[in-house]
């Protein structure tokens, strides 16, 4: 298991980009909506603000199960404004390496 300690979202996104996570699913939702079950979450980074809940966010590294080169990121906030169509799709994705009970 790998542990990553990024100081902020920008560092996490830069590292994921270096690993080939180039699709921005916040902008390119159609790329994901075509067949969401072909994707899995391979990285999750969660950030909490010091005092403001609006500073909380999660960065997801998402990869196609069938085309390993098709990788991207999605950034989701925890505020009431963060609910979007893509966030609802995330609930159905598998997390790579996660074993059920």
pLDDT digits (tens, 9 = 90+) for 29-50: 887 777 888 899 899 888 876 6
What is the pTM (predicted TM-score) of this model? 0.77
- Which pLDDT score, from 0 to 100, does residue 94 have? 64
The neighbour count for residue 21, using CB atoms within 10 Å, is: 24
Sorted by sequence, the CB contacts under 8 Å of residue 71 that are 6+ apart come out as 19, 20, 21, 22, 23, 42, 61, 62, 63, 64
Round to whole Å and give the CA distance between 39 and 7. 27
- Closest to 25 (Cα-Cα) out of 69, 78, 75: 75
- Which pLDDT score, from 0 to 100, does residue 7 have? 79
Of 76 and 90, which is predicted with more confidence?
76
- Which pLDDT score, from 0 to 100, does residue 82 have? 53
- Which pLDDT score, from 0 to 100, does residue 96 have? 62
- Which pLDDT score, from 0 to 100, does residue 28 have? 85
């Amino acid at each position: 298991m790998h542990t990553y300690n990024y100081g902020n979202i920008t560092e996490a996104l830069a590292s994921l980009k270096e690993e080939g996570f180039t699709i921005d699913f916040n902008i390119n939702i159609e790329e994901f909506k075509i067949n969401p079950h072909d994707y899995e979450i391979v990285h999750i980074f969660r950030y909490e603000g010091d005092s403001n809940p609006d500073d909380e966010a999660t960065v997801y590294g998402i990869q196609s199960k069938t085309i390993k080169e098709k990788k991207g990121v999605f950034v989701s906030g925890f505020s009431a404004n963060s609910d979007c169509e893509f966030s609802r799709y995330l609930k159905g994705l598998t997390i790579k390496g996660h074993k059920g009970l």
